[in-house]
């Protein structure tokens, strides 16, 4: 009485040829295939490590660049209300410097752009600004922070209410003024 030798039909994971395995854990038809597979596996692992290292390095680079205030072209489009092609033109003419991290990864210096574009920055709040009618004097108005303080509303709420109710406003110096009557009507009613 002895063990009958197992013969398990299998397909070699390396050469894809059918063979008879002696154990259920056998994966390859021969030492040659087992060896070859081990080497390829090792190669794949190394490649993966290499790739991970590159990614890591890249992430660091991005973090550093953000720290240095470099921004992407699309961020500049939003921040400065300038078209993509205008930005590329500025880069091409060497008016602003750019760093190219790869396809679609051009980074430009925000400070440089600020110096250049400060006169034409588009402020979302200014764009639809409805001027104060002449009848309102500065003393008839609140500044936005006064509104926010008086009615215990956060500035973004104040802003959206002003937008929603189409309240006239005027920017004088650093402050935006809104008529007290208009604001009181809305906030006291609420």
Residue of 6, 11, 33, 131 interacting with Zn ion (CB under 5 A): 33
Q: Which two tokens stand for residue 75?
A: 């961020």
The first and second tokens of residue 78, run together, are 């939003």
Closest distance of CB 40 from Zn ion, Å: 12
Start-to-end CA span in the chain (Å):
96
Q: Give the full edge-to-edge strand order of the sheet including 106-109.
A: 70-72, 106-109, 98-100
Of 31 and 104, nearer to Zn ion (C-beta) is 31
Nearer to Zn ion, 17 or 185 (CB): 17
Q: Taking the CB of residue 122, how many other CB atoms lie within 10 A of it?
A: 13
Q: Least CB distance from residue 6 to Zn ion, whole Å?
A: 19
Cβ at position 35, least distance to Zn ion in Å: 10
Which helix (H) or strand (E) segment holds residue 185: the answer is helix 180-189
**# binding residues, Zn ion (CB under 5 A):** 5
In angstroms, what is the minimal distance from the CB of 32 to Zn ion? 7
Q: Which is nearer to Zn ion, 39 or 92 (CB)?
A: 39
Q: Which of residues 12-31 bind Zn ion (CB under 5 A)?
A: 12, 14-15, 29
Identify which range of 33-41, 122-130, 169-177, 180-188 contacts Zn ion by CB under 5 A.
Answer: 33-41
Smallest CA-to-CA distance from 150 within 190, 100, 114 is with 190
Q: Which residues bind Zn ion (CB under 5 A)?
A: 12, 14-15, 29, 33
């Amino acid at each position: 009485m002895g063990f009958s030798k197992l013969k398990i039909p299998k397909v070699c994971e390396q050469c894809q040829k059918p063979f008879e395995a002696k154990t259920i854990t056998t994966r390859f038809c021969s030492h040659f295939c087992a060896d070859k597979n081990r080497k390829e596996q090792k190669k794949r692992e190394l490649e993966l490590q290499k790739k991970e290292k590159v990614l890591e390095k890249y992430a660091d680079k991005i973090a550093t660049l953000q720290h240095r205030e470099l921004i992407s072209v699309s961020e500049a489009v939003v921040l400065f209300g300038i078209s993509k092609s205008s930005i590329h033109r500025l880069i091409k003419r060497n008016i602003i410097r750019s760093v190219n991290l790869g396809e679609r990864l051009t980074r430009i210096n925000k400070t440089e752009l600020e110096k250049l574009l400060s006169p034409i920055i588009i402020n979302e709040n200014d764009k639809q600004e409805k001027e104060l009618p002449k009848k309102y004097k500065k003393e008839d108005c609140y500044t936005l922070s006064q509104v926010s303080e008086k009615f215990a509303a956060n500035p973004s709420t104040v802003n959206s209410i002003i937008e929603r109710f189409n309240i006239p406003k005027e920017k004088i110096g650093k402050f935006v003024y809104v008529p007290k009557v208009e604001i009181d009507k809305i906030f006291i009613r609420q």
